[in-house]
Amino acid sequence: MEEKITFKQIKNAMMAIVDELNDKRQYFNDLDSPIGDSDHGDSVCSAFAKVKEVILNYDKDKKDIGDLLMNIGKAIIFSGGAAMGPLYGSAFNEAGKVLSGKNEIDYNDLVNMWTGFISGIGKRGEKIGEKTMYDTIYPAVEALKKAHSDDIPLNQAIGLVVKAAENGMNSTKNMIAARGRSSRLGERTIGHIDPGSASMNAIIYAFFQNILD
């Protein structure tokens, strides 16, 4: 019988994301310093502080995974996190839509969740190769989908997803920024990891490393 992921596990994985981002706040600011405003860590942590509020205040008698994720998405969108807020907010909102009404999910649902997540970012115009968070999330989701189609057990797929995300993040170091404020620096952005790709990597790492706990 295929292992189910419960509402509690999703909730705990989301809290792990908040903790991971807070731990790396200064690292994200430092990445942002040469090509941005040195505040990506502050912005993403401020936005995800709202995620923690949603989780802590969520109706204790309700265990709707989709509803929780959609509430998280709305909180991030209204957090005031500049361009980052709508991107992450839209991602969690779309992820929640595909899981609406579910109080536990299986491997296939997890694939659908992250497919919805990336579609939310894509709707905002993000594309591969532009030195953004999309360069991290795209290979990670592709790795998850391939692992599922190849019947690789989820506990083994997790390592593949995490590695794909890390490789995607590192690939941005050799790219020229094509979006956002850093795009005005042109070739001077080469040699620097995109801070958005780094925060996305932290989100993927924290979620997948904790989802089966």
Cβ atoms of 163 and 211 within 8 Å: the answer is no
Which residue's structure tokens are 């949603």? 54
In tens, the pLDDT along 95-148 reads 999 999 999 999 999 999 999 999 999 887 778 888 899 999 999 999 999 999
Task: List the structure tokens of 194.
Answer: 């995109």
**Mean pLDDT, rounded, for 141-167:** 97
Q: What's the chain's average pLDDT?
A: 91
Q: What is the CATH number of domain 5-210?
A: 1.25.40.340
Query: Is 76 in contact with 88 (CB distance < 8 Å)?
Result: yes
3-state secondary structure (DSSP) of residue 98: coil
Give the C-alpha separation, 58 to 201, whole Å.
Answer: 26
Mean pLDDT of the region 208-212: 96
Q: Is pLDDT at 81 greater than 70 in this prediction?
A: no
**Tokens encoding 171:** 């690939």
Q: What is the pLDDT of residue 116?
A: 97
Distance between CA 196 and CA 135 in Å, rounded? 10
Tens of pLDDT, residues 21-42: 999 999 999 998 887 778 889 9
Question: pTM for the complete prediction?
Answer: 0.93
Domain boundaries defined on the chain: 5-210
Main-chain phi, psi angles of 5, to 5 degrees: -105, 125
pLDDT digits over 53-71, tens only? 999 999 999 999 999 999 9
